[in-house]
Amino acid sequence: MSSFKALRIHQADKGVDPRLEDITLDDLAEGSVELRCAWSGINFKDALGITGKGKIARKFPLVAGIDVSGTVEASEDPRYKPGQKVLVTGWGLGETHDGGFAERARVRGDWVVPLPDELDLRRAMLVGTAGFTAAMALVRMEQNGQRPDQGPVVMTGASGGVGSFATRLFSRAGYNVTAVTGKADAAEYLKGLGASAILDPADVDYGKRPLEKAQWAGAVDALGSETLTWLTRTVQPFGTIAAIGNAQGIELNTSVLPFILRGVSLVGIDSVYCPPSLRLQIWERAAQLLREEDFNAICHSELTLDDVPQACADLMDRKVRGRMLVRLSGEH
Ligand SMILES: NC(=O)c1ccc[n+]([C@@H]2O[C@H](COP(=O)([O-])OP(=O)(O)OC[C@H]3O[C@@H](n4cnc5c(N)ncnc54)[C@H](OP(=O)(O)O)[C@@H]3O)[C@@H](O)[C@H]2O)c1
């Protein structure tokens, strides 16, 4: 049986040990659809797992990578045929099931998303979990009544993968976007993605009262902690906040007042176990809104598997803006 390259996480005495290895299909977890992998991308969760800053891998050794796009090589699932282009994000890839940082993958049929017509295999991974999650925020906020004419929406952690796509998708959908970024040099980048205003977190008055001056029609939050608390205090009546991330921290110290006196909604976003029907709807919405120049603007770099550990360290050190792609076969 021929071997292929995979970046696997091994358990170490202290933390984890990521190794680029030659493995065979026999080493992969069970699944009904076998893929020839084309591209993956690096998400916050990948960086936590590979640097050992977060406990992401739940078994060892495990192929890392929570996202993958590729071509079906073989399928026991009648819904998929050899040669078909597909993508998979979440569902425990790179956490409980061998993931996308490898030249081959084997996944369950229920996890597979046929590639939307507007995307190719590379663009699908530029979107990846980060962009899918941002698009999920848009879809779920709109399901909850959010509309562009209500006023400005605010994106936090805006220069990151989720924040970049959130800025781009909401502005393409007609919203007036304020982007919050701690990177002094990211203003032009975010304006290029459609932000009409940039806010430095150092200039934010987080307030102390349960309700502060209402300034945002809605919010997409990648940070949690003090930032999400501030958003609950400052979103306007009947606005929606999408809680996506915890880059700043997991705690949320707020009160019930925004919810019972302003009708604010806090919508939870879980990209990993998003049900298949909603998943398809979200991918279609993202694919329809994004344009050629958006992919070019958000692409930070194209890496090989060897580059992934250093790239993950850079992401953790907040040195990256946009999305880093990982080339596997490189097929489009
Ligand atoms: N719910 C879900 O399904 C889901 C899916 C994907 C991601 N997430 C979560 O969403 C968050 C963002 O993911 P991502 O892939 O966009 O990561 P990323 O590319 O690293 O972006 C995170 C951004 O947050 C800001 N940031 C990072 N550390 C911070 C800190 N300690 N304090 C304040 N701001 C900080 C930085 O933005 P600036 O430099 O611009 O301020 C950074 O670029 C993560 O917590 C991730 O786990 C959740």
User: In the CATH hierarchy, which fold is given to the domain comprising 4-118+299-327?
Assistant: Quinone Oxidoreductase; Chain A, domain 1 (3.90.180)
How many angstroms separate the CA atoms of 151 and 159, rounded? 22
Question: For the CA atoms of the chain, what is the radius of gyration?
Answer: 20
| Cβ neighbours, 10 Å, residue 293 | 11
**Which ligand 1 atom lies nearest to the CA of residue 162?**
16
By most ligand atoms within 8 Å of CB, the mutation choice from 53, 162, 271, 326 for ligand 1 is: 162
Note if the pTM is more than 0.85.
yes
Report the chain's mean pLDDT, rounded to a whole number: 97
Q: Tell me the mean pLDDT in the region 293-316.
A: 98
Structure tokens given for 54? 């977060």
**What angle do helix axes 121-143 and 161-172 make, rounded to 10 degrees?**
70
CB burial class (10 A; 0-12, 13-18, 19+) of residue 282? buried
In tens, the pLDDT along 39-92 reads 999 999 999 999 999 999 999 999 999 999 999 999 999 999 999 999 999 999
Instruction: Give the confidence band of 194 by pLDDT, cuts at 50, 70, 90.
Output: very high
Say how many residues make up the chain. Answer: 332
Per-residue pLDDT tens digits for 145-192: 999 999 999 999 999 999 999 999 999 999 999 999 999 999 999 999
Residue 1 has pLDDT above 90, yes or no: no
What angle in degrees, to the nearest 10, is found between the helix axes of 308-316 and 44-51? 110
Q: Which CATH architecture does the domain made up of 128-268 adopt?
A: 3-Layer(aba) Sandwich (3.40)
Question: What's the 78 CA to ligand 1 centre distance in angstroms?
Answer: 38
Q: What is the mean pLDDT of residues 289-304?
A: 98
Q: What is the pLDDT of residue 240?
A: 98
Mutate to test the pocket of ligand 1, among 42, 223, 271, 272 (most ligand atoms within 8 A of CB): 223
Residue nearest to atom 33 of ligand 1 (CA): 248
Residue 191, CA distances (Å) to 2, 187, 331 in order:
48, 6, 31
**Is the predicted pLDDT of residue 236 greater than 80, yes or no?**
yes
The domains of the chain are located at: 4-118+299-327, 128-268
CA of 26 to the centre of ligand 1 (A): 35
Closest CA to 220 of 238, 244, 193, 194: 244
**Residues lining ligand 1, CB < 6 A?**
43-45, 129-130, 133, 157-163, 181-183, 186, 222-223, 244-248, 269-272, 315, 318
Query: Which atom of ligand 1 is nearest to 243's Cα?
Result: 1
